[in-house]
Amino acid sequence: MIYRDYLQRILFEDVAARCVFVRLDQVLEEVRARGQYEPDEARLLSQALLVVALMSSGLKFSGRISLQLRGSGPLQLLLADCADDGGLRGMLSWREGLETRPDTARLSACAGSDAVLTLTVDPADGGQRWQGIVPLEADTLIDAVAAYFERSEQLATRFCVAVDEHCGGALMLQRMPDQEPDAEGWNRLEHLLASTRPEELLRLDGETLMRRLFHAEARRVFPPRELAFQCPCSRERVSEVLYSLGEEELRQMAAEPDDTEVRCQFCNQRYRYDALDLAALLNRDIRGDEPTIH
C-alpha cells in the first residue's frame, strides 16, 4: 500500500547505522490549515514535524515523543509530537503584543539567547518519563536537533530536510547506540547522504530514494509505516483541566453571562461550557457526551 504520509527505515547492520525517511503531505496541510500560519512559520513547524516523525522511529513502546523549543524571545513556543501509532500534531505561538514578528530562519533571534530545546519521551502506560534538555546552539532547527544528539546522546546524527508549500521530506542517518561503529562505513554513508537534493526528498518515495543513495551498501529494508494528523484532545480531557482550576475559579466562570469556551491550540477544536456544565463540574459529574463545536 502506498501512503501519502509515511515513515520508512533501513538498517546498515555492517556499519551499525540506520537511515529513516519521512514524507508528510496531508499532515502538513492539516496543521497549516488549522493554525493559519504565515509561510515562514509553516516552514519551521513543518521541519519540526518531520524531525519528530523521524525520531519516533526509535519508539519501542506505546507512547509519544515530543520536540519543544521555548525561550524568552518573541517565539513563545514551538512544539511537535508523534505517537507510536504515527499520530502527529504541532503548534507554534508568539508572545502577545508583538508589532512585528522576526524571520523564523534565525532561531536565535526568535527564541532568545536563553532558549532551550527539549526532547521528551512519554510512555502511555504511566511509565517513567524521560526528558533531555539542552540550550539552543544553532540558528536552524535541523542543526539544533543534530547538536542535541551529539551533546546529550553522544550519538552521531545527520539530517537532510526539504519543505515546500505542499509537502515535506526528510532523511535521518544515525549511528546505532551501544554498538561498535565502522568509521570508514559511517564516513561513506555520510557522504552519500550529503549528495541528496531537495527535489529528491520532495518528489521520490522513500524506497526509491534510499535505493538510489545506498544501492552499493548492504542494507535491510523495513516496510513503510503510515503517519497521520492526530490530536488526542477531547471534552473529557478539557473537563479535567477545568476541574483542576478549583472550586472558586469554576464558580466565577459559572457566574459570567457568556458561556466558557476552550480552544485546543493544536487542532483549533472548541469546547463550550454553559452554567449547567460548570455546575456539573463543581459536583464532579463531568459530562463527556456533549458534542464538540467545530
Closest alpha carbon to 56 in 234, 179, 230, 266: 230
- How high is the pLDDT of residue 288? 43
Is the same domain home to 86 and 117?
A: yes
State the alpha helices, DSSP H only, in 65-151: 107-111, 141-148
Domains of the chain: total: 2
- Give yes or no for residue 69 having a pLDDT over 70: yes
Is the same domain home to 240 and 129?
A: no
| Domain membership flag for residue 287 | no
Instruction: Note the pTM of the prediction, 2 decimals.
Output: 0.84
CA distance 57 to 52: 9
- How high is the pLDDT of residue 293? 37
Q: Is the dihedral angle over the CA atoms 285, 248, 246, 262 positive or is it negative?
A: positive
Cell of 201: 526528498
The CATH number of the domain where 136 resides is what?
3.55.30.10
Average pLDDT score, the chain: 87
- Give yes or no for residue 285 having a pLDDT over 70: no
- How high is the pLDDT of residue 163? 96
More confident residue, 245 or 292: 245
Mean per-residue pLDDT, 242-261? 85
Domain range spanning residue 111? 6-229
Q: What are phi and psi of 25, to 5 degrees?
A: -130, -75
| Domain membership flag for residue 10 | yes
Determine whether 187 is exposed, middle or buried from the number of CB atoms within 10 Å of its CB (0-12, 13-18, 19+).
Answer: exposed
The CATH number of the domain where 247 resides is what?
3.90.1280.10
pLDDT digits 0-9 by tens, 218-242: 999 999 999 999 887 778 888 888 8
pLDDT digits 0-9 by tens, 17-51: 999 999 999 999 999 888 888 899 999 999 999 99
- Nearest-10 crossing angle of helices 247-255, 235-244: 110
- Core vs surface per residue 98-136: b (16+ CB within 10 A) or e: eeeebebeebbebbbeebebebbbbeeeeeeeeeeebeb
Is the same domain home to 173 and 268?
A: no
pLDDT digits 0-9 by tens, 136-148: 988 899 999 999 9
Cell of 34: 488549522
pLDDT band of residue 292 (cuts 50, 70, 90) is very low
- How high is the pLDDT of residue 276? 84
| Domain membership flag for residue 288 | no
Least trusted range by pLDDT, from 168-177, 199-208, 237-246, 277-286: 277-286
pLDDT digits 0-9 by tens, 81-127: 999 999 999 999 888 877 777 778 788 888 888 999 999 998 887 77
Is the same domain home to 191 and 266?
A: no
pLDDT digits 0-9 by tens, 192-223: 999 999 999 999 999 999 999 999 999 999 99
| Domain membership flag for residue 130 | yes
pLDDT band of residue 2 (cuts 50, 70, 90) is low
Residue 167 CB neighbours (<10 A) = 20
Amino acid present at 209:
L
More confident residue, 126 or 285: 126
CB-based contact 134:154 (threshold 8 Å): no
Is the same domain home to 106 and 239?
A: no
| Domain membership flag for residue 244 | yes
Share of the chain above pLDDT 70, in %: 96
State the alpha helices, DSSP H only, in 17-81: 26-35, 39-56
| Domain membership flag for residue 64 | yes
| Domain membership flag for residue 120 | yes
